[in-house]
């Protein structure tokens, strides 16, 4: 299974800088927001936590279809399904590779982008923490979505459509933690709830995803 | 014999750059040390900006070179598309990370300067914004080079991207100006302007700019030589495998 | 090793093969034949456990089968060695040298798999079977794009595998030069029973 | 020796440190790459042509 | 060439509702924004034109890699390149199909979503107009990006990285028109500039895109 | 119709074939042979104009060639008829019935192409050639996955095409039962001239 993780990381890096690209997309989204919204720093500061969370979410989303689609196309998934490792393990490893190449860099880069968005001072720590807790859930949920849509020739759009509603709770609590942090309020229940969602997703989603893959291979 | 295109031949280029490189590097180091030392230790503080004027010796040269590096890439890309000299394409590839680094330096020093001057690290000022966009273009350009396997294909695609990107970078510049009139300094270095910055700051700045230019040339020469060698290495290995 | 009795398979909701029975013992190699569209691919996928059978029984531990389909599961951005080594790890094996040697891939070992020609890719796909360490090979048109020398390599590999106590089940349209039994699937084509006149039974059939 | 940077010392110093660090890193990376590629090329050429 | 357009439309519709999906993504992004940003209606109204434009842009972006990648994978692009229609024409038709399935529905749906975002009254007409003028440019620029990256197995991320900076001028002018419209200001030069960019892109980009495809097929 | 003189082609920056010369007249069919990786696919792509040659001349109007590569350009979400009709429109033709008939696709005409078996898909890919209306067919391993009956259908289609004044150039490893000339590419493998010792000439070779 570690072999699978290593291969996926190698592929992500070799196939054009897996690490860099998610990050670059995040940077771009954050850059584009002021063009849309206007350069007023007060407003930008207000919406910064939410937009940073949304940007992270979209950066994750955009790379989701790589989780399984390539393996499906070249037949690797058929072969993995008949290999001596459980499909659940395959899903976990693929989600982990996705998180390492997309989620983790976002967590590390978020403070720098916070500067661009005039995030208020106390927000930086909370933003990073909330992303660190929340992005694993995004990757696992995304793996489930990828499993549902694997084999359908429809580009990422259907996948996004399925996955985005599932992202809503994570987004709400994550952005809430970041916003309260930025405004200096008490964080409250949002943080444990966010952590809880992540843990539950990591524990349960792989089974759903593996079941979906089995159905799709049929 | 006298055609400048001769140096576009990799062999001639390797010879020439081999002899020139040590001199350029030495001169670059000299100018940088002199310019930055002069600027940092021997200039007075500005009456308005205090000691922060000293940032100008890094900020302005790197900003200038960040733009000029892109222009150089544009020219070499055109040369590659029109005359198909490999050295030209490889020089563009070699220049991109250097330009990107200069862009980062300009952004970082500007941001650090902004904190005391404007009370914020970052504002969406046109000059700053266009620089951020330039940085994005650098990122995309470098990513495309890395992503394409075949070197000639990569050279063609990145050249096209560079051309199209330049046009869009210009358009973005005007769009951004239209969108927001900013805080940033106007051009104070132009020769025909009345209120140029005073000579105390001016001369060390010039030396420092010369240092950055030479540093750029030296780095591009060095990296182009590496790229050429890597190309040959690739060809030789492929040939070994075929045999 | 593998015993199939009364197997029926469906594809796209329609039954296509019925009542297929055969047995494969250690050392056997069996060639599936039949016109295009008879259901060879479907049968192999059912046997490999990728798809449930409609009826009948497959008597075989699922971890004995190494399946190779129409596409090879090759990552074009990994080198030939890396591709093989990955599959070896997944199947808990170590050695990839014999696989490289059997399919004459040593010269290509460091090439990115994406730069191989069609036949070279297929050789790599077949070499993967040798690093699974599994006794039953199930191959769907293994010799597609192979030239005659490579086909001979493949036949030799199958012969060695069977001599070593393995078994092979292959669907193919061309002659492999193997002394294998053949099973023609034509007689097993499913006959659609007339749907029950009043409609709507459990499987809508 | 050290000029008095007044209340902006951190800003000015950090600007210099960041810029010089970036430049040094870039120079080092370029230099290392050049050495690595040069060595590998030399090795391949020797392998191809042992006496030359 | 019309045949190509018709085929692409048929494929978009059949392969999982091309029309619906871009729209749905737009809808979801726009609904997620209040979760991220918080439900303050005054702020939402302020940022509405910008966010709607950004949502449209991202919805376009997400479907870009379908423009050429599928045709590349199944070999159709090779065959189209040897067919008696010029590659430039192919690009135009593919961009047109993309616009019809993604841009046009967005234009039509934008007013409805404006309601969700508390877009001020006078903004509706201008938002629709700016999207109608701007989205064709997004599709054509996207086709160029897709042409650059066709054949690279790297998912949509590299494509996004290349294309997003190219979207900046269109976004700025488009959002500017929408914002000024919403705030009841004089629209001024932004509208003709937006139209000019669209026209220039439509006129010139197909040539660059066709050149990139030729290089990539080599 | 097609005259090739002294053609050299490269792949991945390396020359692989040199000095290939042949001519194809109306009514001719020529089979390219050679071991895996010799460069058949590359040669066909060069001739079809998808890739520029390194040296040599190809004397042929580019709009005379219909190319069919390793993959078929079939859209799995369109039916067989829709796929064919699309290509017919692109090439300015009308009739698709003869193509369907020649490759025995009538029974499958309304099926989505994605639900065809490997051989059925390939038949559809070959049927596409007939709706291009172009005189020179260039085929890269056309009979992959075809059973013997379909191979015979294909051979008959080629024979009819050539009898009607067309020509065909095919790369294949198996015997098609056509009375075609063959051109073995093995002797044309490019010999790499020793690279200049001090390196760095224009092409880095
Ligand atoms: C991240 C923030 C900043 C960026 C990206 C930035 C970028 C630039 C650029 C692109 C130039 C133009 C070089 C040229 O075209 O000649 C420049 C020049 C200059 N900048 Fe900044 N800048 C930033 C912040 C600042 C700040 C905060 C100040 C001081 C208050 C400042 C002062 C100057 C000065 C004095 C020049 C020289 C103007 C001239 O002579 O043309 N910059 N900067
Ligand atoms: N989704 C589907 N709906 C209906 N029929 C289908 C579907 N998928 C496949 N089929 C049919 O099932 C049959 C079996 O296909 P299969 O791929 O198993 O054939 P095969 O024997 O492998 O043929 P080949 O030699 O061409 O590879 C074919 O007739 C095919 O047309
Ligand atoms: N990017 C590349 N870099 C180096 N060599 C390559 C590259 N792509 C292909 N080749 C080599 O070029 C040669 C020609 O490949 P080509 O696909 O033309 O062979 P082919 O004759 O069609 O073989 P097959 O019968 O297996 O289809 C092969 O040896 C292949 O390994
Ligand atoms: Mg089959
Ligand atoms: Mg081939």
Mean pLDDT of C3-24: 87
The string of DSSP codes covering chain F is -EEEEEEEEEETTEEEEEEEEEEE-TT-EEEEE--TTSSHHHHHHHHTTSS--SEEEEES-GGGEEEE-SS----TTSBHHHHHHHHHHHTT----HHHHHHTT-GGGTTSBGGGS-HHHHHHHHHHHHHTT--SEEEEESTTTT--HHHHHHHHHHHHHHHHTT-EEEEE-SS------EEEE-GGGBPPPPPPPTT---TT--
Q: Residues of E82-103 as b/e, b for ≥16 C-beta within 10 angstroms?
A: bbebebbebbbbbbbbbbbbbb
Which has the closest alpha carbon to E54: A50, B211, A147? Answer: A50
Q: What is the pLDDT of residue A81?
A: 84
Given an 8 Å threshold on Cβ–Cβ distance, is E66 in contact with A155?
yes
Strands F167-171 and F181-184: unpaired
CB contact under 8 A, B175 and E169: yes
State whether residue C76 sits within 8 Å of chain B by CB.
no
| Structural domain count, chain A | 1
State which residue of chain B sits closest to E147, comparing Cα positions. Answer: B157
Chain E residues touching residue B178 (CB < 8 angstroms): 172-173, 176, 189-190, 193
User: Which pLDDT value is given to residue E143?
Assistant: 94
- Phi, psi at residue C173, to the nearest 5°? -105, -15
Shortest distance between the Cα of F137 and any Cα of chain E, in A, equals 12
CA torsion, points E185, E190, E191, E197, in degrees to nearest 10? -160
State residue B193's pLDDT score: 42
* pLDDT tens, residue order, chain B (243 aa): 456 666 667 888 888 888 999 999 999 999 999 888 888 877 777 666 666 778 888 899 999 999 999 999 999 999 999 988 888 999 999 999 999 999 999 999 988 888 787 777 777 778 888 888 899 899 999 988 988 878 888 999 999 999 999 998 888 888 887 777 666 665 555 444 444 566 667 788 889 999 999 999 999 999 999 999 998 888 888 777 766
The answer on pLDDT for C149 being more than 50 is yes
Per-residue pLDDT tens digits for C184-205: 888 888 877 655 555 555 555 5
- Chain A residues within an 8 Å CB radius of C63: 84
Report which protein residue has its CA nearest ligand 1's atom 2. B110
Please tell me which of the candidates F16, F202, F205 has its beta carbon nearest to residue B9.
F202
pLDDT value at residue F71: 83
Euclidean distance between CA atoms E218 and C85, whole angstroms: 31
Confidence (pLDDT) at E201: 92
Beta bridge partners of C7: C20
Indicate the DSSP class of residue C186.
G
The CATH number linked to B97 is 1.20.120
Q: Does F79 touch chain E (CB under 8 A)?
A: no
Q: Which residues have any ligand 2 atom within 6 Å of their CB?
A: C 11-12, 14, 16, 34, 36-42; F 115-120, 145
Please count the structural domains in chain B: 1
**How much is the pLDDT for A137?**
93
Average pLDDT over residues F169-181: 82
Structure tokens at F186: 């093995």
Q: What is the pLDDT along chain E (218 residues), one digit of tens a residue?
A: 788 888 888 887 776 555 667 777 788 778 777 777 777 777 788 888 888 888 888 888 878 877 888 888 888 888 888 888 899 999 999 999 999 988 898 888 888 888 877 777 778 888 899 999 999 999 999 999 999 988 776 656 788 889 989 998 898 889 888 888 888 787 778 888 899 999 999 999 999 999 999 998 88
For residue E70, give the H/E element and its range. Answer: helix E69-73
**A154-180 pLDDT, tens per residue?**
656 677 778 888 888 898 888 888 888
- Which residue CA neighbors atom 27 of ligand 3 most closely? C118
- Counting ligands in written order, which one lies closest to the CA of residue F143? 2
Domain that holds residue B131: 21-242
Question: Which one of F13, F16, F36 makes the best mutation probe of the B interface by having the most chain B beta carbons within 10 Å?
Answer: F13
* Cα–ligand 1 centroid distance for A55 (angstroms): 28
Q: Is F39 near ligand 3, meaning CB less than 6 Å away?
A: yes
Helix E18-37, helix E2-14: angle, nearest 10: 60
- Please report the pLDDT score of residue B195 as a whole number: 47
- Contact B144/E162, CB-based, under 8 Å? yes
The ipTM value here is 0.86
Per-block average pLDDT, block size 10, for chain D (52 residues)?
68 87 95 94 81 56
Task: Say if the Cβ atoms of B239 and F192 lie within 8 Å.
Answer: yes
Query: Which of A37, A62, A152 comes nearest E157 by C-beta?
Result: A62
Cα separation of B227 and B229, whole Å? 5
Q: What is the C-alpha to C-alpha distance for residues C151 and C148, in angstroms, rounded to an integer?
A: 5
Cβ neighbours of F199 in D, within 8 Å: 45
Chain B 11-70, CB below 8 Å of chain D: which residues?
36, 40-41, 45, 50-52, 54-55, 58-59, 62
The pLDDT score that the predictor gives to residue B49 is 67
How do beta strands C181-184 and C167-171 pair?
unpaired
pLDDT-above-90 percentage for chain A: 18
Residue F140 has pLDDT above 80, yes or no: yes
B138: closest chain E residue by CA:
E162
CA distances from E128 to E131, E177, E182 (A): 5, 10, 11
Nearest to A116 among B122, B125, B139 (CB): B122
d(CA B145, CA B141) in angstroms, rounded, equals 6
**pLDDT of res. C91:** 85
B:E CB pairs within 8 Å: 73
The better pLDDT of the pair E21, C45 is held by C45
CB interface of D with B, residues 5-34, below 8 Å: 5-9, 11-12, 14-16, 18-19, 22-23, 26-27, 30-31, 33-34
Q: Which residues of D touch B58 (CB under 8 A)?
A: 15-16, 19
D41 contacts B236? CB cut-off 8 A? yes
For residue B15, tell me if it sits in a domain: no
CB of B189 sitting under 6 A from ligand 1: yes
The highest-level CATH class for domain C28-52+60-181 is alpha beta
Residue B192 has a pLDDT of: 42
- To the nearest whole angstrom, how far is the Cα of E215 from the nearest Cα of chain F? 9
Domains of chain F, residue spans = 28-52+60-181
pLDDT of res. D8: 74
Whether B4 is covered by a domain: the verdict is no
All residues at 6 or more sequence positions from A153 whose CB lies less than 8 Å from its CB, including other chains: E15, E70, F76, F77
Domain that holds residue E65: 2-217
């Amino acid at each position: 299974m570690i072999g699978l993780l290593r291969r996926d990381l190698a592929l992500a890096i070799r196939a054009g800088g897996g690490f860099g690209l998610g990050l670059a997309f995040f940077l771009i989204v954050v850059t584009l927001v002021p063009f849309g919204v206007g350069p007023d720093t007060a407003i930008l500061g207000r919406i910064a936590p939410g937009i940073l969370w949304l940007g992270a979410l979209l950066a994750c989303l955009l790379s989701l279809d790589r989780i399984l689609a390539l393996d499906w196309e070249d037949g690797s998934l058929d072969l993995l399904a008949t290999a001596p490792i459980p499909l659940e393990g395959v899903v976990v490893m693929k989600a982990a590779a996705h998180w390492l190449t997309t989620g983790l860099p976002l967590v590390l880069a978020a403070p720098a982008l916070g500067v661009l968005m005039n995030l208020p001072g106390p927000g930086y720590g909370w933003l990073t923490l909330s992303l660190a807790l929340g992005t694993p859930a995004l990757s696992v949920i995304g793996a489930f979505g990828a499993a549902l849509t694997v084999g359908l020739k429809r580009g990422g759009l259907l996948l996004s459509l399925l996955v985005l509603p599932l992202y809503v709770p994570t987004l709400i609590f994550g952005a809430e933690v970041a916003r309260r942090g930025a405004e200096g309020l008490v964080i409250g229940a949002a943080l444990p709830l966010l952590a809880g969602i992540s843990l539950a997703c990591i524990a349960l989603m792989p089974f759903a995803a593996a079941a979906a893959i089995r159905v799709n291979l049929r | 014999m006298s055609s400048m295109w001769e140096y576009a031949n990799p062999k001639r280029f390797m010879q020439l750059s081999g002899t020139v490189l040590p001199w350029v590097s030495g001169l670059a180091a000299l100018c940088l040390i002199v310019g930055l030392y002069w600027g940092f230790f021997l200039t007075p503080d500005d009456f308005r900006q205090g000691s922060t004027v000293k940032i100008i010796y890094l900020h302005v040269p790197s900003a200038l070179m960040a733009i000029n590096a892109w222009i150089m890439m544009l020219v070499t890309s055109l040369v590659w598309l029109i005359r198909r000299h490999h050295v030209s394409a490889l020089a563009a590839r070699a220049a991109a990370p250097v330009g990107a680094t200069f862009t980062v330096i300009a952004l970082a020093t500007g941001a650090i300067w902004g904190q005391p001057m404007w009370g914020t690290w970052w504002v969406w000022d046109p000059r700053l914004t266009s620089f951020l966009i330039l940085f994005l273009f650098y990122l995309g350009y470098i990513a495309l080079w890395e992503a394409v396997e075949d070197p000639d294909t990569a050279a063609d695609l990145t050249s096209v991207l560079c051309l199209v990107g330049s046009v869009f970078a210009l358009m973005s510049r005007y769009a951004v100006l239209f969108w927001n009139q900013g805080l940033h300094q106007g051009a104070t270095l132009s020769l025909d302007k009345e209120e140029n910055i005073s000579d105390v700051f001016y001369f060390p700045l010039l030396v420092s700019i010369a240092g950055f230019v030479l540093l750029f040339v030296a780095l591009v020469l060095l990296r182009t030589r590496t790229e050429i060698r890597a190309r040959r290495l690739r060809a030789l290995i492929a040939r070994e495998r075929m045999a | 090793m593998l015993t199939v009795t009364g197997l029926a398979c469906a594809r796209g909701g329609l039954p296509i093969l019925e009542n297929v029975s055969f047995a494969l013992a250690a050392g056997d190699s069996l060639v599936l034949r039949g016109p295009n569209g008879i259901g060879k691919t479907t049968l192999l996928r059912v046997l490999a456990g990728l798809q449930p059978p409609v009826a009948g029984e497959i008597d075989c531990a699922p971890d004995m089968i190494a399946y190779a389909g129409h596409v090879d599961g090759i990552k074009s951005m990994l080198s030939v060695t890396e591709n093989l080594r990955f599959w070896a790890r997944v199947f808990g094996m170590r050695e990839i040298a014999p696989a490289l040697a059997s399919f004459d891939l040593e010269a290509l070992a460091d090439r990115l798999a994406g730069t191989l020609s069609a036949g070279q890719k297929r050789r790599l796909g077949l070499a993967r079977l040798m690093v699974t360490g599994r006794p039953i090979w199930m191959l769907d048109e293994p010799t597609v794009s192979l030239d005659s020398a490579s086909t001979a390599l493949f036949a030799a590999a199958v012969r060695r595998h069977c001599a070593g106590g393995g078994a092979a089940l292959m669907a193919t349209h061309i002659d492999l030069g193997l002394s294998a039994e053949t099973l023609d699937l034509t007689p097993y084509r499913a006959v659609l029973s007339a749907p029950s006149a009043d409609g709507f039974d459990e499987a809508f059939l | 020796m050290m000029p008095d940077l007044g209340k902006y010392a951190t800003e000015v110093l950090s600007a210099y440190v960041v810029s010089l660090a970036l430049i040094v890193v870039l120079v080092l990376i370029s230099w290392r790459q050049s050495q690595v590629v040069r060595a590998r090329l030399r090795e391949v050429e020797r392998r191809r042509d042992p006496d030359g």
